[in-house]
């Protein structure tokens, strides 16, 4: 799993990055985490604002930068991916 935090380098973006690192560590999640301030990458994802949290290239929605909300978003995405992989239809049912 690759987790990408994109933003302008502001305090909010840095806080999101720190929350992601804490969740990965505390939940023992095997993931590569990248932090980028390349605003062009935000636009390439079809978004016009930051910070952006993307898992495996897909932006995900989260409530706030709090560790609790970031954990909920990441764990929810992991659950979705697991369900899709285990479904015979590949998640198209």
Contact in structure between 52 and 35 (CB atoms under 8 Å): no
Residues in CB range of 32: below 8 A, 6 or more apart:
1, 2, 3
Domain residue extents for the chain: 2-86
The string of pLDDT tens digits covering residues 35-68 is 999 888 888 888 877 788 999 988 887 778 889 9
Residues in CB range of 35: below 8 A, 6 or more apart:
4, 5, 13, 17
Taking the C-alpha atoms of residue 6 and residue 22, their distance in angstroms, rounded to an integer, is 17
What is the reported pLDDT for 11?
A: 92
pLDDT category of residue 87 using cuts at 50, 70 and 90: low
Supply the pTM of this predicted model.
Answer: 0.81
Q: 2-86, superfamily in CATH?
A: Glutaredoxin (3.40.30.10)
């Amino acid at each position: 799993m690759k987790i990408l935090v994109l933003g302008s380098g502001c305090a909010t973006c840095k806080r999101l990055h720190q929350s992601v690192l804490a969740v990965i560590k505390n939940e023992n999640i095997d993931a590569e985490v990248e932090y980028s301030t390349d605003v062009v990458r935000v636009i390439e994802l079809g978004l016009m604002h930051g910070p952006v949290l993307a898992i495996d290239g897909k932006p995900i929605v989260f409530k706030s930068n709090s560790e609790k909300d970031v954990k909920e978003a990441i764990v929810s995405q992991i659950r979705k991916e697991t369900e899709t992989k285990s479904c015979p239809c590949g998640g198209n049912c």
